[in-house]
Amino acid sequence: MNSSNPEHDALSLLNARRSVPAKQLDAPGPDEATLLRMLRSAVRVPDHGKRVPFRFLRITGSDRDALGERLAARSQARDPDIGEGALDKDRRRFSHAPMVIVVVAVLDPDDTKIPEVERLLTAGSVCFALLQAAQALGFGASWLSGWPAYDAEILALLGLGGNERVAGFIHIGTPRIEAPERERPDPAALLTDWHAP
């Protein structure tokens, strides 16, 4: 790598991005100042109409386990026949990484000018930018959803309003392993040219 070429360095960093599974994320998580550095980077997303259609919710410490207990209870209510293995998975869902940032999409229903899908795309971009910032600062991260992201009772428990959705649960911590690379799509195979008919 030619480290005197800043463009090359930036692309190398972008191309090195990969998720670290939540189960492989240990303490320490980012401290307050480091988290704010990450978020400052994450909010630099394209945003049609400058709506800022997102906010952040931080889940750390014993609140992760408490949320897990509530998830397990809700899971059992949804499916009384659920097995102990699935319940345990829900109980520990938020307890692996030391920090989970919920990127909340804030979708004003009265906004008739900027299509909702564009505002949701902005919130999704925040998730991706946060993954990149976490990795750039030496942490590992994973963007997860799962049923809790779509369950009305869990969303209410998290304090989301009726006009809000979970764009992503971003689990952040110190990687216990070097996450294996996975096969990536071949962009050349995805690229076509449009020609005027």
Q: What's the rounded Cα separation, in Å, for the pair 73 and 23?
A: 22
Q: What's the rounded Cα separation, in Å, for the pair 184 and 49?
A: 33
143 binds ligand FMN (CB under 6 A): yes
Q: Which of 53, 98, 168, 173: binder of ligand FMN (CB under 6 A)?
A: 168
Is cis: bond before 28, omega within 30 of 0?
Answer: yes
CA dihedral 18, 96, 44, 124 (to 10 degrees): 80
Q: Minimum CB separation from ligand FMN for residue 168, in Å? A: 5
37 binds ligand FMN (CB under 6 A): no
122 binds ligand FMN (CB under 6 A): no
From residue 86, give the alpha-carbon distance in Å to each of 41, 58, 79, 146, 181.
36, 25, 11, 13, 27
175 binds ligand FMN (CB under 6 A): no
Q: Which of 144, 158, 166, 172: binder of ligand FMN (CB under 6 A)?
A: 144
User: Residue 147 corresponds to which tokens in the numbers above?
Assistant: 């049923």
Q: Which of 44, 66, 145, 150: binder of ligand FMN (CB under 6 A)?
A: 145
Q: Which of 41, 73, 146, 163: binder of ligand FMN (CB under 6 A)?
A: 146
User: Residue 38 corresponds to which tokens in the numbers above?
Assistant: 């990450």
Q: Minimum CB separation from ligand FMN for residue 141, in Å? A: 9
Which residue in 158, 125, 163, 140 sits closest to 43, CA to CA?
A: 125
Which residue in 182, 184, 154, 171 sits closest to 70, CA to CA?
A: 154
142 binds ligand FMN (CB under 6 A): yes
* Segment interacting with ligand FMN, rule: CB under 6 A, options 6-14, 47-55, 88-96, 137-145: 137-145
* Segment interacting with ligand FMN, rule: CB under 6 A, options 81-89, 95-103, 115-123, 136-144: 136-144
> Where along the sequence are the contacts to ligand FMN (CB under 6 A)?
18-19, 142-146, 168, 182
